[in-house]
A = this chain, B = another copy of it.
Amino acid sequence: MGDKIRIGIAGYGNVARGVECAIAQNPDMELCAVVTRRDPSSVQVRTEGVKVVAASDVASLVEEIDVMILCGGSATDLPEMGPQYAALFHTIDSFDTHARIPEYFDAMDQAAAKNGHVSILSVGWDPGTFSLNRLYAEAILPDGSHNTFWGKGVSQGHSDAIRRIPGVKNAIQYTIPVERAMEAARSGSRTALTAREKHTRECFVVAEDGADLAGIERTIKEMPNYFSDYDTTVHFISEDELKRNHSKMPHGGFVIRSGKTGDGSQHVIEYSLRLDSNPEFTASILVCYARAAWRLSQRGESGAKTVFDIAPALLSPKSGEQLRKELL
C-alpha cells in the first residue's frame, strides 16, 4: 500500500494543532480535513490545502477520511461527539476522565461495533503510556505496588479553578512531585502515600486592581478537591510576567513500581516523561494510535479498544522484520 492514511481532526485547539505537526513527521499519513463547530471560514489551518468542514456536515467526509482524531474535551464534548463520530469513522480520542472511562468505553463500543469501526479511546500519556507502564510493571511484579507522580507541569483544570475566583484575572497552576515521596516509592516502601505527601501545588495569579489578595489566597488554599489536600503556594504577579514566564505548557511525571521476587530480591521499574509541550506530546501519541486503528480496521476488526489492546508493532511504520532487526 503506497497510499497514505487520510486523517481528519475534529476540533482545532492546542491538541489538534499538535496533531497537525505530528502528521507532518509521519510520511505515511496526511491531514485531509479539519472539522469545526465554528464558522469554517474563520478557521485558518496551518497546513495548505486542508479542507475545513462544519461539524454539521461531518457526514460528508465519510469517503474522504480513514481515521478521525477527536480533539474535544472530556467533560462535555467527547461524551456526546464520541459515539456520534464512532458511528461514521474509525476514531482516536484522549478521553481522560478516569472515573468515567468504563461508561464511555461502553458507549463507544456500541457505536463503533455496530458500524464496523475501530475506536481507540483514552489515548495520550495519562491515560495512555502511563497506563501501559502500570500494566506491564504490575504483570511483571505482581508482589509490589506502584505510584504515579505528575509534574512538574501545568494543570489546566486547577488553573481554570483559580481563574473562576472573583478578583482573579488570570492564573497558572503547577503540580510538583515531592522528591522525598518518589524516593519512598523507589525504596519499595508500601505505605500508601497521601495526596499531600506526593505533590505540592504552586500558583501564579494575576489579580484585578484593588482585589483582596489575602482573600484570594485563602480561597485557593481552602478549595476542596483542588487544593485543600495539598501544600499550596500562591504568588501574585503581573499579567506581563505571566505571559513572559508562564505561557508554555510543560508537563511530565513518573510511574514507579517496586516489587519483590524469590526470597526477597527487590526491583524497581520506572517510567518518566519530561515534556516541553503537553498538547504536542499527547498529539504525537494520538497519531501513532491512528496508524494502529487503521491497520486493525484493515484486518476486519471493530469495536472500542484502549492502549491495552493494541500490540506495540501496530504503532510503528516499520515492518515486523525491520522492528526485530533494529529495535528488539
Contact = CB atoms under 8 A, between A and B. Distances in A.
Q: Bin the interface of chain A by size.
A: 35 or more
A324 B102 contact: yes
Contacts of A307: 312, 328
Interface stretch (A111-119, A239-247, A261-269): A261-269
Interface in A111-166: 122, 127, 129, 131-136, 138-143
| Copies assembled | 2
Contacts of A320: 308-309
Contacts of A312: 132, 135-136, 139, 307-310, 312
A258 to B, nearest CB: 9
A277 interface: yes
Q: Is the interface of A mostly helix, strand, loop or mixed?
A: helix
Given A135-B327, A273-B267, A312-B135, A261 B280 contact: yes
A186 B25 CA distance: 21
A328 B306 contact: yes
Contacts of A324: 101-102, 105, 306, 308
Interface stretch (A48-56, A223-231, A281-289): A281-289
A317 B139 CA distance: 8
A323 interface: yes
A328 B261 contact: no
Interface string A82-124: 0000000000000000100110010000000000000000100
B313 A309 contact: yes
B267 A138 contact: no
Contacts of A178: none
A22 interface: yes
Counting chain B CB atoms within 10 Å of each CB, which of A17, A139, A285, A316 scores highest?
A139
A285 B129 contact: no
B135 A313 contact: yes
A265 B98 CA distance: 27
Contact of A270 (B134, B262, B271, B288): B271
Interface of A: 17-18, 21-22, 25-26, 98, 101-102, 105, 122, 127, 129, 131-136, 138-143, 186, 261-263, 265-277, 280-281, 283-285, 288, 306-313, 315-317, 320-321, 323-325, 327-328
Given A129-B269, A265-B275, A267-B276, 8 more contacts: A17-B262, A261-B284, A262-B280, A267-B273, A269-B273, A271-B272, A306-B328, A308-B324
